[in-house]
Amino acid sequence: MSIDRRLREGLRASADALTPDPVVALHTVERKTQRQRRRILAVQLAAAAAAIALLIVTVTWSVTQLRGPASVAPPAPASPLAGEYVVDIGESTVTRTEGMVGRWIVRLVADGAVVFVPPDSFQGSRTGTSYQVDGDQLRTNAFVNDFCDSASAGVPVGTYRWIRTASTLRFTVVSDSCEARRLFFAAHVWERVP
C-alpha cells in the first residue's frame, strides 16, 4: 500500500470520527452571540448613563454661570416664640363641634409660619397659617380657612398677649371675635417641647 493511500484512509477515518453535531454547534454559536449582545448592551447603557450625567452637570454649571453670583439674603429675625409646643384641648361645645378636642402639636416657625399636627378628629387646615410677633403681642390668622372666617366670626385675625417661660407659653386675648381660636390659644397652657 502506498503512502498516499495510507494517508487518505487515515484522514478519512479521522474525519468520520469527528462528525460534528449541528444542534450542539448551533447552541454554542447562539450562546456566544447572546454574551456578545449583553456586553454590547451593557457598554451602551453605561455610555448613555455617562452622557446623561455629563449633560446634567453641564446644564447645572451653565445655569449657575448665567445667574451670576448668588445673593445672600439676610437671615430672618428669629421669633422669640419659635419652637414646638404641645397643647391639650379639653371638651367644650365649640371644641367638640369643631373636632378640636385632643392633643395638638404646634410648631411656630421663625419665619412666621404655623404648622399644626392636630388630633385625628380635626378635619380642617393644617398649613397656611401665620403669626406675627410685635413686642408682647401675637397676631395670627389661625383657623381662618376653617371656622374663623369673616362671615361667621368677624375679623379673621386674632391678637393675643403672650408670656413665655422656659417650658410654657401662655396667651391672653387682646381682641379676637373667633370663639374657637380664643379657646385654642387662651384657654390652655402650651407646653414647650425640648
Q: What is the mean pLDDT of residues 113-119?
A: 89
Cα three-residue angle 49-53-58, rounded to 5 degrees? 145
Backbone torsion region of residue 149, taken as left when φ is above 0, otherwise alpha when ψ lies between -120 and 50, otherwise beta: beta
Based on the fold, state whether residues 90 and 62 are members of the same structural domain: no
User: What share of the chain has pLDDT > 70, as a percent?
Assistant: 85
The three grid cell numbers given for residue 144, joined into one nine-digit string: 381662618
Residue 159 lies in a domain: yes
Which CB contacts under 8 angstroms, 24+ apart, belong to 145-154?
Answer: 146/98, 147/98, 147/178, 147/180, 148/178, 148/180, 148/181, 153/177, 153/178, 153/179, 153/181, 154/178
Residue 75 lies in a domain: no
pLDDT of residue 169: 94
Residue 74 lies in a domain: no
pLDDT of residue 191: 93
Q: 77 pLDDT exceeds 60?
A: no
Domain span holding position 54: 3-67
Residue 59 lies in a domain: yes
Secondary structure of 32-101 in the HEC alphabet?
HHHHHHHHHHHHHHHHHHHHHHHHHHHHHHHHHHHHCCCCCCCCCCCCCCCEEEEEEECCCHHHHHCCCC
pTM of the model: 0.57
Q: Cβ atoms within 10 A of the Cβ of 178, count?
A: 26
pLDDT of residue 66: 66
Instruction: Give the Cα separation of 152 and 95 in Å (integer).
Output: 16
Residue 128 lies in a domain: yes
- End position of a domain, from candidates 14, 39, 67: 67
pLDDT of residue 69: 54
Based on the fold, state whether residues 28 and 90 are members of the same structural domain: no
Helix (H) or strand (E) holding 179: helix 179-186
pLDDT of residue 27: 77
Q: Which residues pair with 139 in a beta bridge?
A: 132, 159
Instruction: Give the Cα separation of 150 and 86 in Å (integer).
Output: 28
Between 26 and 165, the more confident residue is: 165
Structurally, how many domains does the chain consist of? 2
Amino acid at 39: R
